[in-house]
Amino acid sequence: MKNLKKDNINKINKYKEKMASKVVFNTGGIDGGKKKQAAGGYSIHIRNQQRNGRKSLTTIAGLAEDLDLDKILKVMRKMFSTNGTILHDEEAGNIIQLQGDRRHDACDFLTRYNICERSEIKVHGA
């Protein structure tokens, strides 16, 4: 029974690595997905919004326009075992919204897959 459980966990981990390695997030552009940093030095803001009780939402704002947010969201949802959506805001642009407090997971994901550098990310409330 334990071997079967370990096999399933190994298969899931291999699948996650396989999915993440195949994904190309940059759809191409003149500046290669780099965005000018704001005055504070951060261009991507990761926040946690408390809903009610233990429920919360994680929002990721300030990603470059030439990134394929649908692919990023799809991989994030599978890796973090959560649901999410893309919100369109006139002031902030496109915002990725994930269920649950996934601030540190999102920060690690963005840096691991070279979507942005750690110096460009501001994790609020951490």
What is the residue type of 20?
A
Residue ranges of the domains in the chain? 2-123
CATH of domain 2-123: 3.30.780.10
Q: What percent of the chain has pLDDT over 90?
A: 52
Let me know: does 84 contact 98? Beta carbons within 8 Å. yes
Name the pairing type of β-strands 121-123 and 44-50: parallel
10 Å Cβ neighbour count for 54?
8
Both tokens of 38, joined, read 């704001």
Express each pLDDT in 34-79 by its tens digit: 444 444 557 899 999 999 999 999 999 999 888 899 999 999 999 9
Entry pTM: 0.72
